[in-house]
Chains A and B, each alone.
Chain A
Amino acid sequence: MVNAAAVSVRGLRLVARAPILSNPLNIVAFALIAVFAACAVLAPVLAPYDPLLQDLGSRLQPPSAQHWLGTDSLGRDIASRILYGARISLIIGVVVVASAGVVGTAIGLVAGYLGGLVDEALMRLTEVFLAFPALILAMAIAGALGPSLTNAIIAIAAVTWAVYARLTRGQILSLRRREFVEAARAMGATQTRIVVRHLLPNALAPLMIQASFDLGSSIIAAAGLSFIGFGAQPPTPEWGVMISDGRNYISTQPWLSLFPGLAILLAVGSFNLLGDGLRDAFDPRLSHSD
């Protein structure tokens, strides 16, 4: 049986060995992500108001002591909505990347290891999905299934998985010829064992980098879908919905759209920073930052 714990520890050791924490930018990235995650997880504790609570007497208030980021067109507290929005965005990012990553990686593993006709067929499939302009495919799927956050997540995952399949396959192809695979085979290891214990951990690096960037891009994609009406619906405090809610108030109450946009910028920026940092860590000779 494959020892999953051993495999994951092996992967983590790879990470820890890399000089990730020596770069101050990575520390910033981790800190921002930690703040984001904290907001998301602790939203019920941190939020001063119920994000759905309407107070029609205090509509469209600018930032003040009672409402740190002001109120929206129905008197709801924007700060509380942004906190709960963090929760929604985190879920979106994690679910999309996890599902697309698992499915894509599995397909890539199969294609890379089995080769031949299976490989051809699966790679054609990824080409098809990569040929679609992402947002348009997502719109078609979300439009067909009906506008909702769940369907938006499905749609975004559908346009994201193909990259993982290609990455994994590429890594597998370059790794399978390596000596330690020959050695393992000589020692009698089964195919599964070879794949999981030897190939997978080494293929992990580019996948983690991609996942990091995709955490950010899926949040932006979901916000974009919500903005045009295909994703989360009001009164859900998703950041894209909030920007859309505020778009008619730009000239007089700009904070309605300003703050959720800043939230997206910060959250996605932190994931992009992390991705950069991981890329440098795993491939130091390219020295992209410092």
Chain B
Amino acid sequence: MFRQLRQTSLAIAVAALLAAACGAPTPSASSSPGASPSAGGAASTLVIDRDTSDLISLDPAVLYEFSAVFATHNVYETLVKFEGTDLSTIKPGLATSWDIKDAGTTNDITFKLKSGMKFASGNALTADDVVYSVQRAIKLNKSPAFLYTDIAGLKADSIKATDPTTVVISLPKTASASAFLTILTFTIGGIVDSKEVKAKETGGDSGSAYLLDHSAGSGPFVVDHWTKNTEVLLKANPNYGGTKPTLGGVLFKQVPEPTNQQFALEKGDIDIANNLGPEQVAALQGKSGVTTTTADSLQLVYVGMNATVKPLDNVKVREALRTAVDYDGIVKDLLKGNGKKVQGIIPRGLAGYNEATPFQADVTKAKALLTEAGQTSVTLDFLVPTGQAPGGVAFSDLAAKLKSDWAKIGVTVNIKQTTTAELLATYRAQKGQLVMIYWGPDYPDPDANVGPFTDYKAKSIGWRNAWDDPTIAQKGRDAALITDPAKRAAAYKDITDYVLHNGPYVVLYQPSELFGLRSNVKGFNWSSIGWAELASVTK
């Protein structure tokens, strides 16, 4: 009998020892806890609860996930940037000026850098660092690299440092200069400290193992540590060249359950809750000490219609489906106002946004359109993802609503719910009939949406819906290259109006981002591209 007792206690001890053996971390593993959040502790560290399970790396040349973009935007600086939440005007960043010259086969953009700038390490920031940063992003060829190599058509030798404060980038004439400038504002354009990173390179990885959970930038914050699955801590950069942040640090805590975020916010244990749903926001109204705020995101939730599947190949049928949907009901009842009725393919916040929303549940008109097309009863497969749609409504609820809206005009849809992975596989193979999904632009330029939605050859959204319209595709490509803002806007109005009535899309809504904040948090302004300037936040 004691033997059994000893046996089990030994087993437990062995298990604990196994844990000890496993738990002893290797020096490079970032499970080492690191120093506590700043000398000021709770008073000067902004605590943000967020579902950061999408984090893979904090290296600007590797990262492409929402959480990484948010955090890293505050750690690295870019040549050019947007100011605040205005996404229409490019402003100087590390570069004080730039000019575009026609150089035959390319457009050469010459950037003049501010002088006397330093990285957080104290190293000087020069043109060589800019060249190194761009070249390593191209060389590493990770998720965001296509922005440089495909959209901008850059190669490693496309960028040169002509003197310590001058960088010349030769952009092929096929690429849009304005799109390229917006790409530079994105985290891939973050300039890294080449001296520091080169010293940390191992096995030809361009330092990406080091930058995975360390930083080498010049921004207002530096990465203190990333404890996997638990938290990312940013600390104020004492060598920051701009207005130093009031905060001593920013802590991103991994808390996936929205209810736990809400509880922590109400109890004052955190400062910002990032993943609240409309029901939490409603619950927080009127509670003392907390406030809520919304901001546009640049995503669009839509239904793709396969233009080669009968009867969707008839534009009148597609128009009928668009006309029958109760968009107002979706925004008001399902999203509880947490979204905006947008029906064009460019979201609000980007240049070229088209306000026209001509469709709203008109059963008579939709039925008439179907009759004109010679269809009385239509049956289609409807592929829907599992889980939550952006905006805080379940995909299944959206699908159920659409099903009932379309039933009213004689269209029967069979809802098939699958994981996003399976849905994407079917969609990418042009095998869907009706597919519900969402899209967010890769960079804040209208072409980031128009290209994928209109250009069959781009093998993106238009291709997945088998919509081959060479005229509109060419118009989209042309519009991307227009430099005059007024002419460009006119071109995009033309394009979006056309797609509105002829394309294979039913754009449902543009979701909002919801935030819960403690009332004493000020200066938190969310930019729809996916970040906030934490340097201007006070608490």
Give residues in A with beta carbon < 8 Å to B: 52, 54, 56, 73-74, 143, 146-148, 229, 233-235, 247-252
A247 x B397 contact (CB < 8 A): no
A248 x B277 contact (CB < 8 A): yes
A248 x B258 contact (CB < 8 A): yes
Interface membership of B66, Cβ < 8 A: no
Bound together, the chains give a CA A223 to CA B283 distance in angstroms of 26
Bound together, the chains give a CA A56 to CA B283 distance in angstroms of 18
A229 x B387 contact (CB < 8 A): yes
Chain A residues within 8 Å of B400, by CB: 52, 54, 235
Nearest Cβ on chain A to B205's Cβ, whole angstroms:
32
B279 x A248 contact (CB < 8 A): yes
A235 x B282 contact (CB < 8 A): no
Bound together, the chains give a CA A147 to CA B421 distance in angstroms of 12
B396 x A235 contact (CB < 8 A): yes
Bound together, the chains give a CA A233 to CA B419 distance in angstroms of 11
Residues 377-414 (chain B) with a chain A CB within 8 angstroms? 386-387, 394, 396-397, 400
A248 x B280 contact (CB < 8 A): yes
Given contacts A248-B277, A248-B279, whether A74 and B259 have CB atoms under 8 Å apart is no
B333 x A56 contact (CB < 8 A): yes
Bound together, the chains give a CA A252 to CA B397 distance in angstroms of 21
Give residues in B with beta carbon < 8 Å to A: 257-259, 262-263, 266, 277, 279-280, 282-283, 329, 333, 386-387, 394, 396-397, 400, 417-419, 422
Nearest Cβ on chain A to B177's Cβ, whole angstroms:
44
Counted as pairs of residues, one from A and one from B, with CB atoms less than 8 Å apart, the total is 43
A250 x B387 contact (CB < 8 A): no
Chain B residues within 8 Å of A143, by CB: 419
A229 x B283 contact (CB < 8 A): no
Bound together, the chains give a CA A54 to CA B399 distance in angstroms of 13
Bound together, the chains give a CA A249 to CA B280 distance in angstroms of 7
Chain A residues within 8 Å of B422, by CB: 146
Chain B residues within 8 Å of A251, by CB: 259, 262-263, 266, 283
Nearest Cβ on chain B to A131's Cβ, whole angstroms:
16
Please give me the residue from chain B that is nearest to A249 by CB atom.
B279
Chain A residues within 8 Å of B262, by CB: 251
Please give me the residue from chain B that is nearest to A59 by CB atom.
B333
Nearest Cβ on chain A to B12's Cβ, whole angstroms:
17
Determine which residue in A52, A229, A251, A252 has the highest number of CB atoms from chain B within 10 A of its CB, and name it.
A251
Determine which residue in A73, A247, A248 has the highest number of CB atoms from chain B within 10 A of its CB, and name it.
A248
Nearest Cβ on chain B to A145's Cβ, whole angstroms:
10
Nearest Cβ on chain A to B11's Cβ, whole angstroms:
16
A146 x B418 contact (CB < 8 A): yes
A247 x B279 contact (CB < 8 A): no
| Cβ-closest 5 pairs across A and B | A56-B333, A234-B396, A252-B283, A248-B279, A250-B259
Nearest Cβ on chain A to B282's Cβ, whole angstroms:
7
Chain A residues within 8 Å of B386, by CB: 147, 229, 233
Please give me the residue from chain A that is nearest to B287 by CB atom.
A251
- List 9 A–B pairs whose Cβ atoms lie within 8 Å, in order of A's numbering: A52-B400, A56-B329, A143-B419, A229-B386, A234-B394, A234-B397, A248-B277, A248-B279, A251-B283
Chain B residues within 8 Å of A146, by CB: 418-419, 422
Chain B residues within 8 Å of A52, by CB: 400
Given contacts A54-B400, A74-B397, A248-B280, whether A233 and B259 have CB atoms under 8 Å apart is no
Chain A residues within 8 Å of B263, by CB: 251
Bound together, the chains give a CA A273 to CA B52 distance in angstroms of 43
Please give me the residue from chain A that is nearest to B400 by CB atom.
A235
Bound together, the chains give a CA A148 to CA B418 distance in angstroms of 9
Bound together, the chains give a CA A167 to CA B400 distance in angstroms of 46
Bound together, the chains give a CA A148 to CA B396 distance in angstroms of 13
Bound together, the chains give a CA A26 to CA B236 distance in angstroms of 67
Please give me the residue from chain B that is nearest to A256 by CB atom.
B279
B417: which of A74, A233, A249, A252 is its contact (CB, 8 Å)? Answer: A233
B283 x A147 contact (CB < 8 A): no
Chain B residues within 8 Å of A148, by CB: 417
Please give me the residue from chain A that is nearest to B392 by CB atom.
A248
Given contacts A247-B257, A247-B259, A250-B259, whether A233 and B396 have CB atoms under 8 Å apart is yes
B259 x A235 contact (CB < 8 A): no
Chain B residues within 8 Å of A74, by CB: 397
Please give me the residue from chain A that is nearest to B396 by CB atom.
A234
Please give me the residue from chain A that is nearest to B262 by CB atom.
A251
B417 x A73 contact (CB < 8 A): no
Nearest Cβ on chain B to A244's Cβ, whole angstroms:
10
Nearest Cβ on chain B to A69's Cβ, whole angstroms:
19
In the complex, besides A56-B333, A249-B283, 7 extra interface pairs with C-beta distance below 8 angstroms are: A56-B329, A74-B397, A147-B417, A229-B387, A233-B417, A234-B397, A235-B397
Bound together, the chains give a CA A143 to CA B333 distance in angstroms of 31
Nearest Cβ on chain B to A48's Cβ, whole angstroms:
21
Please give me the residue from chain B that is nearest to A244 by CB atom.
B394
Bound together, the chains give a CA A56 to CA B397 distance in angstroms of 12
Please give me the residue from chain B that is nearest to A236 by CB atom.
B396
Nearest Cβ on chain A to B436's Cβ, whole angstroms:
14
Nearest Cβ on chain A to B417's Cβ, whole angstroms:
5
Chain A residues within 8 Å of B394, by CB: 234
Nearest Cβ on chain B to A23's Cβ, whole angstroms:
31
Chain B residues within 8 Å of A229, by CB: 386-387
Chain B residues within 8 Å of A234, by CB: 394, 396-397
Bound together, the chains give a CA A256 to CA B283 distance in angstroms of 15
Bound together, the chains give a CA A146 to CA B419 distance in angstroms of 7
Nearest Cβ on chain B to A251's Cβ, whole angstroms:
5
A73: which of B257, B279, B329 is its contact (CB, 8 Å)? Answer: B279
Chain B residues within 8 Å of A252, by CB: 279, 282-283
Nearest Cβ on chain A to B425's Cβ, whole angstroms:
12
Bound together, the chains give a CA A251 to CA B397 distance in angstroms of 22
